[in-house]
Amino acid sequence: MLDIKFVRENPDLVKENIKKKFQDEKLPLVDECIALDAELRKVQTEADELRAKRNKLSKQIGGLMAKGQKEEAEAIKAEVSKDGDLLEELSAKQTELGEKLTSKMMIIPNIIDPSVPIGRDDSFNVEVQRFGEPKVPDFEVPYHTDIMESFGGIDMDAAGRVAGNGFYYLIGDIARLHEAVIAYARDFMIDRGFTYCIPPYMIRSKVVTGVMSFAEMDAMMYKIEGEDLYLIGTSEHSMIGRFIDQTIPEEQMPITMTSYSPCFRKEKGAHGIEERGVYRIHQFEKQEMIVVCEPEDSMKWYDVLWKNTVDFFRTLDIPVRQLECCSGDLADLKVKSCDVEAWSPRQKKYFEVGSCSNLGDAQARRLKIRIKSKEKGNHLAHTLNNTCVAPPRMLIAFLENNLLPDGSVKIPEVLRPYMGGRKFFIRSTIPSRDK
């Protein structure tokens, strides 16, 4: 959410930013917010003047009573009472105008960074660089669920009977691989200086509206019936929410944390054939990164975060690329964002496995997250988040890139300590241990 003072002083810039995001239907909001703000400030001035008058009159009443001038005192009391009724009306109007202004302000998108490419949708996203050589093997790579089934590792039919579409059972070696990847990601991030955390998996509505736009909320979040609680779509939600209404000493900056959580998403809308299987599902697990930092440091941390994901995937022998998200593909709170995409030998193309975002002070403004500084005074923090790894989608890239011609799967060296020392998965009803 933008600062209303910024909108008031830079209406053309805010409108131009809306146009760059191809959200022209939101253009009237700028003038509406400026008008509401002017009305609100007028009411506030009237209320302040009335309070000052009432305080002055109240002091006069005491003086008149001390002099025995009761009639004059009673007349002023009646005026104070009348002013009190009017002040109550003004206070109610202030609340109403403030709520209207806030609701409209929360729809206006954040100002994007000048480096963001301009485009209507994700087809305008720009490849920045590649890491690792994408290869297509000289044998057929089966669909990822077929690879998992070859190890007796997945049961989506049973999950459909139990929970419906978009769920799965992971079994045996594939389930162990899933947990191994999460455990390795945890240690990978800890080794990079991030503090490990397991957050709440449910959050209140004030946190939800603090960390995401209304459109994202509607498309993603599951509401707990009868409770002011939502299941998190990513641990970033509760991790950033941890600092709600907090003023953090500058000595504690930056705060860098990595978190594990299950994630729950509605995933509204139709998806293509390449998103069946375990690509887009309602429940998955993820190792996340979040940073709370000084405003001048947020772009530096942005680069640190997405590079962490690239380095993680390269240790697993998976080629990846960085894709810069265009203006129309950015969620409203984001200043800048990029995707890390993994190579799919079967599809012969890259697909998204992680997303890194700099949200500027948007979340901090909504959640009132400030930094206490002697030199700069209290000011809003900047927040960032990034996916380290999110299996089972990541398992698609892992299995395809490490599949061997005989149907076995190579386990990269860094993952072997989490897999009991094994080097391969071999199709067999008896677990194999290749030393």
Out of 79-83, 206-210, 343-347, pick the least confident.
79-83
Q: Within a domain: residue 117?
A: no
- Residue 415: exposed, middle, or buried by beta-carbon count in 10 A (0-12, 13-18, 19+)? buried
pLDDT surpasses 80 at 39: yes
Whether the CB-CB separation of 358 and 158 falls below 8 Å is answered with no
Strand, helix or coil for residue 358: strand
**DSSP class per residue in 194-215:** PEEE---SEE-HHHHHHHS-HH
Distances (CA, A) of 333 to 212, 216, 430: 7, 10, 50
Nearest 10 degrees: CA dihedral of 339, 344, 350, 352? -30
Strand, helix or coil for residue 111: coil
**Section 25-29 average pLDDT:** 97
Q: pLDDT higher for 48 or 191?
A: 191
Q: What is the predicted pLDDT for the residue at 403?
A: 95
> In the listed set 41, 76, 105, which residue is the last one of a domain according to the structure?
105
Q: Within a domain: residue 49?
A: yes
Q: What is the predicted pLDDT for the residue at 270?
A: 45
Rounded (5°) CA angle 359-207-255: 50
Q: What is the predicted pLDDT for the residue at 84?
A: 74
Q: Within a domain: residue 431?
A: no
Out of 83-92, 149-158, 354-363, 384-393, pick the least confident.
83-92
pLDDT surpasses 70 at 408: yes
Count CB-CB contacts under 10 A for residue 418.
18
Do both 212 and 83 map to the same domain? no
Question: Which residues are registered as beta bridge partners of 387?
Answer: 288
Do both 73 and 137 map to the same domain? no
Whether the CB-CB separation of 171 and 382 falls below 8 Å is answered with no
Q: Rounded to whole angstroms, how far apart are CA atoms 426 and 410?
A: 9
Q: pLDDT higher for 48 or 228?
A: 228
Q: What is the predicted pLDDT for the residue at 72?
A: 72
Q: Write the CB contacts of 112 (distance below 8 Å, at least 6 apart in sequence).
A: 17, 20, 21, 327, 330, 334, 335, 336
Q: Write the CB contacts of 420 (distance below 8 Å, at least 6 apart in sequence).
A: 433
**DSSP class per residue in 159-201:** HHHHH-TT--EE-HHHHHHHHHHHHHHHHHHHHTTPEEE---S
**Section 303-329 average pLDDT:** 97
Q: What is the predicted pLDDT for the residue at 268?
A: 63
Out of 52-56, 72-76, 197-201, 278-282, pick the least confident.
72-76
Do both 73 and 182 map to the same domain? no
- Number of domain units in the chain: 2
Q: What is the CATH number of the domain that holds 213?
A: 3.30.930.10
Do both 293 and 179 map to the same domain? yes
Strand, helix or coil for residue 219: helix
Do both 177 and 205 map to the same domain? yes
Q: Rounded to whole angstroms, how far apart are CA atoms 54 and 46?
A: 12
Do both 173 and 312 map to the same domain? yes
Residue ranges making up the domain that contains 34: 4-105
Token couple for 94: 């202030």
pLDDT surpasses 90 at 8: yes
First to last CA, the chain: 56
Q: Rounded to whole angstroms, how far apart are CA atoms 64 and 234?
A: 65
Categorize the per-residue pLDDT at 66 as very low, low, confident or very high, splitting at 50, 70 and 90: low
The model carries a pTM of 0.88
Q: What is the predicted pLDDT for the residue at 73?
A: 64
Do both 57 and 132 map to the same domain? no
Say what percent of the chain tops pLDDT 70: 91
Do both 70 and 167 map to the same domain? no
Q: What is the predicted pLDDT for the residue at 65?
A: 67
pLDDT surpasses 70 at 430: no
Whether the CB-CB separation of 125 and 324 falls below 8 Å is answered with yes
Q: What is the predicted pLDDT for the residue at 429?
A: 42
For 264-305, write each residue's pLDDT tens digit.
Answer: 999 765 455 455 788 889 999 999 999 999 999 999 999 999
**DSSP class per residue in 321-355:** EEEEPPGGGS-TT-SEEEEEEEEETTTTEEEEEEE
Q: Within a domain: residue 111?
A: no
For 97-136, write each residue's pLDDT tens digit.
Answer: 999 999 999 999 999 999 999 999 999 999 999 999 999 9
Out of 81-95, 105-119, 374-388, pick the least confident.
81-95
Categorize the per-residue pLDDT at 434 as very low, low, confident or very high, splitting at 50, 70 and 90: very low
Do both 285 and 360 map to the same domain? yes
> In the listed set 105, 140, 175, which residue is the last one of a domain according to the structure?
105
**DSSP class per residue in 64-91:** HHHTT-HHHHHHHHHHHHHHHHHHHHHH
pLDDT surpasses 60 at 51: yes
Distances (CA, A) of 344 to 126, 151, 309: 19, 20, 17
Q: Within a domain: residue 115?
A: no
Q: What is the predicted pLDDT for the residue at 388?
A: 96
Do both 209 and 308 map to the same domain? yes
Highest mean pLDDT among 88-97, 181-190, 269-278: 181-190
Q: What is the predicted pLDDT for the residue at 64?
A: 63
Q: What is the CATH number of the domain that holds 47?
A: 1.10.287.40
> In the listed set 37, 70, 105, which residue is the last one of a domain according to the structure?
105
**Section 393-400 average pLDDT:** 94
pLDDT surpasses 50 at 433: no
Categorize the per-residue pLDDT at 12 as very low, low, confident or very high, splitting at 50, 70 and 90: very high
Q: Rounded to whole angstroms, how far apart are CA atoms 11 and 34?
A: 9
Do both 134 and 96 map to the same domain? no
Q: Within a domain: residue 206?
A: yes
Q: What is the predicted pLDDT for the residue at 53?
A: 73
For 324-354, write each residue's pLDDT tens digit.
Answer: 999 999 999 999 999 999 999 999 999 999 9
Q: Rounded to whole angstroms, how far apart are CA atoms 216 and 209?
A: 10
Residue 388 phi/psi, 5-degree rounding, is -80, -55
Do both 35 and 142 map to the same domain? no
pLDDT surpasses 90 at 154: yes
Query: What rounded mean pLDDT belongs to the chain?
Result: 91
Q: Within a domain: residue 156?
A: yes
Q: What is the predicted pLDDT for the residue at 295?
A: 97
